[in-house]
Amino acid sequence: MLTTVTSTSAGAVSYTHKPSWSISYRWQYAGSTALFGTTSAAVAVSVRTSVTAAVSATSMKLGKTVTISGTVGPKHTGKVTLQRLSGTRWVAVTTASLTSSSNYSFKVKPTARGSYSYRVVKPADTDHAEGISTRRAVKVT
């Protein structure tokens, strides 16, 4: 149980809670012995991990390397996947293990000139939904 709330005279109740992980909520009526234990249907709330991504250079010469790095919050273990936009779909490039402080880093060396878009994905786990970073672009000249 998170808390006890009192209804308005019209019978309305509300409660604000910011969960740290995915959870299901139910209201349980405890106002009379006749209705004690009556509960609502479960309402699931999925909490996504937050994935940040930074790129060391947005423009570079062919043959050079760029670093894409960031963090996953709240702190997690496991792996993240670097994806590259190919046409209209995202394609997995490689994976990296998260450090003990939930950081990651990828070194990318494009093999052709052009513009590339990358993102980092933290797969869903038992307590959080999938997290996806914002798109980061690199132009290779």
pLDDT digits (tens, 9 = 90+) for 81-117: 999 999 999 999 999 999 999 999 999 999 999 999 9
Q: Is the pLDDT of residue 36 over 60?
A: no
- Percent of the chain whose pLDDT exceeds 70: 83
Fold topology of 50-140: Immunoglobulin-like (2.60.40)
Q: Is the pLDDT of residue 6 over 90?
A: no
Q: Domain boundaries in the chain?
A: 1-47, 50-140
Q: Does the N-terminal peptide bond of residue 74 adopt cis geometry, omega within 30 degrees of 0? A: yes
C-alpha atoms less than 13 angstroms from C-alpha of 121 in its C-beta half-sphere: 17
At residue 21 the predicted structure's pLDDT band, cuts being 50, 70 and 90, is low
The residue type at 92: A
Can you tell me which residue has the tokens 């000139």? 113
pLDDT of 22 = 67
Q: Is the pLDDT of residue 78 over 80?
A: yes
Question: How many Å apart are CA 77 and CA 125, to the nearest integer?
Answer: 10
pTM over the 0.85 mark = no
